[in-house]
Amino acid sequence: MNKVVECVPNFSEGRRKDVIDAITAPFRRAAGVLLLDVKPDPVHNRTVVTVAGAPDDTSKAVFESIAIAARLIDLQKHEGAHPRMGATDVVPFVPVQCISMSDCVSISRSLAKRVGEELGIPVILYEESATAPHRRNLSDIRAGQFEGWHEKIRESEWTPDFGPAKVHPTAGVTVIGARVPLIAYNVNLGTRDASIARKIARKIRERSGGLTNVRAIGLPLEERGFAQVSVNVTDYTKTPLYRVLESVRTEARRYGVSVAESEIVGLVPMRALTDSASFYMQLARFSRKQIIERRVGALAGGEEGAPGTGPGDRPGEGSGEGPGQEPDEPVGERSGEELGEPGFAGVTVGDFVDRLSSSEPAPGGGTASSLAVSFAASLVSMVCRLTLGKRKFQQHESEVSAALQAATAFSGEALRLATEDSDAFNKVMAAFALPRESSAEKEARQEAISDATLGAARVPMRVAQISAEILSIARALKGKTNPNASSDLAVAALLAAAGGRGAIENVRINATSLGGRGGEELLARAEEIEARLQT
């Protein structure tokens, strides 16, 4: 298979059709490049273009397009709702097929060098291509916009990676990099009050303590009669679109405002839509194999389950886009691999409680323990976020920041383990149900039971390890974080200890039956972790 890279350049022009046509012309005529989508927005005064193709061909076409934009767009005269700092504002490269992230970083750096040297436009590298941690986030780079960058570029921490150390008089500064796929998703409110949109954006975005994998800003859309919460979802498999919409809707109710509509900018993966459709329609045991277009894709020369087999099933960026090939696992509100979003992350609290209290043995205590540990880690993250940036705790900022990073990772891992625990139990039950008529079948069945039981012991062991780490972090942060959240830190410690001890009980019940197949080692490790939870 050939290498395919996706690129989603954002241009600061969304009103003049002749200019947009000129900017996109290189993509229409370039061999080896497919123009997937052109999304102009006159209110934002911005156009998002999505292309995919061979790396060299795509890079050359993007360079030509940047050069045209530099000639035809004058940021001194530009006005629009969306923040901007360059005529070509941001250029992300995304791996699609037979290409790695490191390859995309190389492509982005090569293009950035050409833009800086040949066009005289200063370039900042971002995301995976960033040359410093403070340069990774696009919103941090774009702060101040075109006007503010005339002073900002003089600061040593914002010296361009390529090009002159001064803002191009009309084309501004361009941001280029490589990143994972994302989806641009906008929610328009039934109000013109942009301050409400900004308040909601602060509540739902990750950097303010909201949803993980979500970046958001509030914008006025006066011409359309809306205020907009403009969102980038950086990993829709972990934070699905329906969760973003429901979070915005919940926050909007506080201000007596409704959601008027939502929109996706650029392309979007099928899974992002089927996950949301499954959530709202409450579909049970629905599989993507039931989608007719996926099944007949092979008739057009593609593979079953991957319609068209090309990059056309991939998204754009309006700030963004999403991943490529879609798995064929079922979608819906069910446990384990049957969930649209992997595991219990896609289930409401009420649904989970109902299933936990049912007569079904899974989910059970192991899953509940995993979630308790995830809750503990999330509380630690909250406390850290309520502390960072406050002058009183500046001396602890490094430690609190490191704790936030660790707790965030542990929260996600424990949430995934909640599903793995339930799945592990189901695998044990499936192994016991295997036939045992012949000697060969009996031997195979016993082997399967041992393997499944070992897995059922290893999952809670990892949960116990995480719980000990979270408890250690919570104890170390005592007296170093916002005192208004001291009770939350205490609850985090209690949940971590309870979840860890619950996980150890599951280790014991499974490891005891393993004997020499690793059971004794697991039991010994469980004793060590339990001691850490008690001290």
Contact criterion met (CB below 8 Å) for 37 and 266: yes
In 3D space, the residue among 130, 183, 399, 322 whose CA is nearest the CA of residue 140 turns out to be 130
How does 101-112 read in b/e, with b if 16+ C-beta sit within 10 Å? bebbbebbbebb
| Domain limits, the chain | 4-178, 183-331, 343-534
The confidence band for 414, taking pLDDT boundaries of 50, 70 and 90, is confident
The length of the chain is 535
Q: What is the DSSP string of 132-170?
A: SGGGS-HHHHHTTHHHHHHHHTTSGGG--SBS-SS-BTT
Please give the span between the terminal C-alpha atoms of the chain, in angstroms, as a whole number.
Answer: 56
Q: What is the DSSP string of 449-497?
A: HHHHHHHHHHHHHHHHHHHHHHHHHHHHHTTSS-GGGHHHHHHHHHHHH
Statement: residue 400 has pLDDT above 90: no
Cα(411)–Cα(65) distance, integer angstroms: 42
Q: Which of the listed CATH numbers 3.30.70.670, 3.60.20.40, 3.40.50.1370, 3.40.50.970 matches domain 183-331?
A: 3.30.70.670
511 token code pair:
């490891």
Cα(2)–Cα(32) distance, integer angstroms: 11
354 token code pair:
């109902």
Question: What one-letter code names the amino acid at 36?
Answer: L
Cα(230)–Cα(214) distance, integer angstroms: 10
Write down the pTM of the prediction: 0.52
Q: Given this chain, do its domains 4-178 and 343-534 carry the same CATH topology? A: no
Place of tokens 């914002």: 158
Statement: residue 4 has pLDDT above 50: yes
The confidence band for 375, taking pLDDT boundaries of 50, 70 and 90, is very high
Among the listed residues 82, 150, 168, 396, the single catalytic one is 82
**82 in catalytic set:** yes
In 3D space, the residue among 180, 140, 132 whose CA is nearest the CA of residue 156 turns out to be 132
Statement: residue 166 has pLDDT above 50: yes
User: How much of the chain, in percent, has pLDDT values that exceed 90?
Assistant: 48
The three-class DSSP label of residue 173 is coil
Contact criterion met (CB below 8 Å) for 12 and 72: no
Does domain 4-178 fall under CATH 3.30.990.10? My reply is yes
DSSP structural state of residue 326: P
Statement: residue 170 has pLDDT above 70: yes
Q: What is the mean pLDDT of residues 368-379?
A: 92
Cα(419)–Cα(342) distance, integer angstroms: 8
User: For 343-534, CATH number?
Assistant: 1.20.120.680
Q: CA dist 532 to 101, 340, 445, 525, 527, Å? A: 39, 37, 37, 11, 9
> By mean pLDDT, which of 252-266, 454-468, 511-525 is the weakest?
511-525
Helix (H) or strand (E) holding 27: helix 17-29
Structure confidence at residue 452 (pLDDT) = 85
Contact criterion met (CB below 8 Å) for 11 and 318: no
Q: What is the mean pLDDT of residues 475-491?
A: 91
